[in-house]
Structure 1
Amino acid sequence: MAAAVLRSWGRVVLKIGPRGAACLTPSCSGGVRQKSTVQFATRPDLPKLAYRKVKGKGPGVVFLPGYASNMGGQKAEALEDFCKSLGHSYLRFDYTGCGASEGVLTEGTVGSWKRDVLFVLDELVDGPQILVGSSMGGWLMLLAAIARPEKIAALIGISTAADHFVTAFKSLPLEVRKEFEEKGEWSIPTKHNEEGCYKLSMDFLQEAENHCVLQCPIPVTCPVRLIHGLQDQDTPWHISMQVAERVLSTDVDVILRKHGQHRMTEKDDIKLIVYTIDDLIDKLTTLV
């Protein structure tokens, strides 16, 4: 059984597993969850990156948010509680132009956000990490694993959106694509922001095409776990199947949730993510 500490809707669920999760109940913590402190990483000639870090043993866990998202979401916070309970290090951060980080969202690219992830791996954490990538973060975790294989212990993709901006645009009817190309931007309807749409420039899409990974084998050999909801209206679940087929790793599992949505923030979704991390930590530490 997984050792999991989950805080959900104002109450704490505590499960003690074989490694003996630390007590994290209102009586132990004074009734208030102690969040990690926001810090800022300074980079020469680049915007500062905002991050929250919990010190602990390895393998550490790094959370990669989705497009236009930030490190303050339910999954990111639940994983911090979990890692604290086991004494493992944990880091969550905001990409350039997102959340508390400096920069402008509309100036960001897949390449610039990949650079953010590599900076985190190179400068802010020690030792191999388990990357947990949500949506676009799942694409970025693959790019990071290709660029820094020695820094990666395992990958967990949640609604992985590898290549999705590019393939979704190319799947549009030709006349629709031409219309957006003439306008210079693509408006994607969404229920995840107040505007009701994401606006992606043609330059963004052209740059993103340079980082596509699904056309050929993906040189990733670490353990890979891919969790996807069959009711995902934003990123089709078959993308996770494509990733599973193309990675070179022989240790790959795909978990499909019948009623799962894109954000995977229901209590049982978060439990599954936590159990998946816990099982990987067991596997990795046993191998050592």
Structure 2
Amino acid sequence: MAAAVLRSWGRVALKIGPRRATAISPKCCGGVRQKSTVQYVTRPDLPKLAYRKVKGKSPGVVFLPGFASNMGGQKAEALEEFCQSLGHSYLRFDYTGCGASEGVRKECTVGSWKRDVLFLLDELVDGPQILVGSSMGGWLMLLAAVARPERIAALVGISTAADHFVTAFKSLPLEVRKEFEEKGEWTVATKHNEEGSYTVSMDFLQEAENHCVLQGPIPVTCPVRLIHGLKDQDIPWHISMQVADRVLSTDVDVILRKHGQHRMGEKDDIKLMVYTIDDLIDKLTTMV
């Protein structure tokens, strides 16, 4: 479980040690509890959003999935088990056009998914929340924290993909970019779906530029924890370092997993995520 932790840029330490025995149930990493049921929330003139919710005390935890992912992944499931064991509220959901939610994914944008997150924060949860964002969800958690600072108790990014689509496209050779621009869409190879690739439109990319956060200071002052794998072949780990450098918070830890992959779905990866959130809950409740 060793992970290098950069404590607010001041020193490097190994984050290994005992945890609260009552805080982390073995079930949160592979056991069986009664799952929450899928529910739907309606919005005027917008697609219904599917979600699962566990009632409990504050601070609550909200999980934001990655691009084209859904609320049924291992990390989302493990967090529900964990929050149930502690008695804290928990919300996981599918973005518009993803999973069980209504809508067409190809018609969605970073802005529309940000709107989904803000709607759920405004309508489905009470009190301060710890946002846990996976990949693109890490980008969206930053946008939500800027838009709703009073609602956010802390942020936990897993392989945070801040600005990813925009910076990755701009890093392509000019002739390749022009080819995709003429075609009107960008096809990206991936090992995370059966098709072996996904496509994003030029309209999607242009809209995403409006939501980039890494060009300057990010007005986020709550505690921030960023977990990233050094073997991540999708989102370079230095993106998490950039996020840590740009947020205004002075309570920032970057945790680098030497053999961690992008999805951070191994048992020890999930334990690290749970331990990190456990520490945050302990810190936040102690402060109160």
TM-score, length basis structure 1: 0.91
CA distance in 2, matches of 1:163, 1:62: 21
| Residues 217 and 50 of structure 1: CA distance in aligned 2, closer, same or farther (over 3 Å) | same
2:183 maps to a residue whose letter is K
Is the 2:233–2:261 contact (alpha carbons within 8 Å) kept by the matching residues of 1? yes
Secondary structure of the corresponding residue to residue 166 of structure 1: helix
- Residue 93 of structure 2 corresponds to 93
Q: Give how far 1:24 is off.
A: 7.5
Secondary structure of the corresponding residue to residue 81 of structure 2: helix
| Residues 18 and 227 of structure 1: CA distance in aligned 2, closer, same or farther (over 3 Å) | closer
Residue 216 (str. 1) matches residue 216 (str. 2): yes
How many positions carry a matched residue from both structures? 268
CA distance in 2, matches of 1:135, 1:284: 24
CA distance in 2, matches of 1:114, 1:32: 32
1:80 maps to a residue whose letter is E
Is the 2:23–2:278 contact (alpha carbons within 8 Å) kept by the matching residues of 1? no
CA distance in 2, matches of 1:124, 1:33: 23
Residue 154 (str. 1) matches residue 168 (str. 2): no
- Residue 20 of structure 1 corresponds to 22
- Residue 77 of structure 2 corresponds to 77
Deviations 1:99-136 (A, max 9, x none): 00000011110000000000010000001100000000
| Residues 43 and 255 of structure 1: CA distance in aligned 2, closer, same or farther (over 3 Å) | same
Deviations 1:198-241 (A, max 9, x none): 10000000000000000010000000000000000100000000
Secondary structure of the corresponding residue to residue 210 of structure 1: helix
Deviations 1:74-98 (A, max 9, x none): 0000000000000000000000000
Question: After the TM superposition, which parts of structure 1 deviate over 6 Å for at least 4 consecutive aligned residues?
Answer: 22-25
- Residue 280 of structure 1 corresponds to 280
Q: Give how far 1:18 is off.
A: 3.8
Q: Give how far 1:279 is off.
A: 0.2
Q: Give how far 1:45 is off.
A: 0.4
Q: Give how far 1:32 is off.
A: 4.8
Is the 2:220–2:247 contact (alpha carbons within 8 Å) kept by the matching residues of 1? yes
Is the 2:19–2:275 contact (alpha carbons within 8 Å) kept by the matching residues of 1? no
Residue 139 (str. 1) matches residue 129 (str. 2): no
Is the 1:157–1:226 contact (alpha carbons within 8 Å) kept by the matching residues of 2? yes
2:22 maps to a residue whose letter is G
Q: Equivalences for 1:33-52 in 2 at 5 Å?
A: 33-52=33-52
- Residue 234 of structure 1 corresponds to 234
- Residue 57 of structure 1 corresponds to 57
More relative contact order in 1 or in 2 (CA 8 Å, sep 6+)?
2
Unaligned runs of 5+ in 1: 1-15, 26-30
CA distance in 2, matches of 1:23, 1:156: 20
Secondary structure of the corresponding residue to residue 211 of structure 2: coil
Residue 250 (str. 1) matches residue 254 (str. 2): no
| Residues 135 and 32 of structure 1: CA distance in aligned 2, closer, same or farther (over 3 Å) | closer
Is the 1:65–1:137 contact (alpha carbons within 8 Å) kept by the matching residues of 2? yes
Q: Percent identity?
A: 87
Secondary structure of the corresponding residue to residue 144 of structure 2: helix
CA distance in 2, matches of 1:93, 1:174: 38
Unaligned runs of 5+ in 2: 1-17
CA distance in 2, matches of 1:140, 1:244: 15
Residue 204 (str. 1) matches residue 204 (str. 2): yes
| Residues 252 and 21 of structure 1: CA distance in aligned 2, closer, same or farther (over 3 Å) | closer
Is the 1:162–1:212 contact (alpha carbons within 8 Å) kept by the matching residues of 2? yes
CA distance in 2, matches of 1:44, 1:24: 41
- Residue 225 of structure 2 corresponds to 225
CA distance in 1, matches of 2:200, 2:150: 33
Q: Give how far 1:194 is off.
A: 1.3
- Residue 168 of structure 2 corresponds to 168
